[in-house]
Chains A and B, each alone.
Chain A
Amino acid sequence: DGGITQSPKYLFRKEGQNVTLSCEQNLNHDAMYWYRQDPGQGLRLIYYSQIVNDFQKGDIAEGYSVSREKKESFPLTVTSAQKNPTAFYLCASRGTGQGRSTDTQYFGPGTRLTVL
């Protein structure tokens, strides 16, 4: 089945540790995104990538890093510099090119990160 997968579903981190969240898609989408969602808040953009080997900071990139070495994969690292990392992290992808369907982002199931 085509889709977006994220792992792990739940992640617990001790303060001061870096952790990496996985996001993989087999939709052949060029663009990928990372969002953070806090209770009662809208989704906030962390990083995005329009093409392999290129990515840009979103609205709340501080304390996070990403890589885009393969089209299918866009891992997010939450570093110890992120002051309040406990949140629900969502990865999304979007097809690029012509047509209205390229406006739409499709989401993975998310990773819930808790800092102990």
Chain B
Amino acid sequence: RKEVEQDPGPFNVPEGATVAFNCTYSNSASQSFFWYRQDCRKEPKLLMSVYSSGNEDGRFTAQLNRASQYISLLIRDSKLSDSATYLCVVPLGGSQGNLIFGKGTKLSVKP
């Protein structure tokens, strides 16, 4: 079975801190990867897509290590509004476009 593994946390950090989440995956054929953000009792929303070695969007940086089969998400200068659960998502492969979701890493940013 193809799996996606994440540290469930919670990660409790002060405002302004830098925090990093790791995710490992078992499907070596995956070409694209995603980080979704899910707020409490809400739907997941796409945060970043990763197609090559990495991607950066403001305070958020995603990096991909294909050899070791892990993806990381780095958040710099954490804000209170960054508090959420971050889901690592990997395509299953094939034409159906099905995704495998990690259980998520919970982040809590404190004042």
**Are the C-beta atoms of B44 and A42 separated by less than 8 Å?**
no
Instruction: Please encode chain B, from 60 to 93, with 1 for each CB lying within 8 Å of some chain A CB and 0 for all others.
Output: 0000000000000000000000000001000100
CB distance from A78 to the nearest CB of B (A): 18
**Are the C-beta atoms of A103 and B42 separated by less than 8 Å?**
no
In the complex, A43 has a CB within 8 A of chain B: yes
Interchain CB contact (< 8 A) of B43 among A31, A40, A107:
A107
Interchain CB contact (< 8 A) of B45 among A43, A94, A107:
A107
Residues of B within 8 Å of A, CB-based: how many?
23
Interchain CB contact (< 8 A) of A103 among B32, B41, B87:
B32
Residues of A within 8 Å of B, CB-based: how many?
27
**Are the C-beta atoms of A90 and B87 separated by less than 8 Å?**
no
How distant is the Cα of A40 from the Cα of B103 in the complex, in angstroms? Answer: 7
Given contacts A31-B97, A42-B87, whether A104 and B49 have CB atoms under 8 Å apart is: yes
| Chain B residues engaging chain A, CB cutoff 8 angstroms | 4, 8, 32, 34, 41-46, 49, 51, 87, 91, 95-99, 101-104
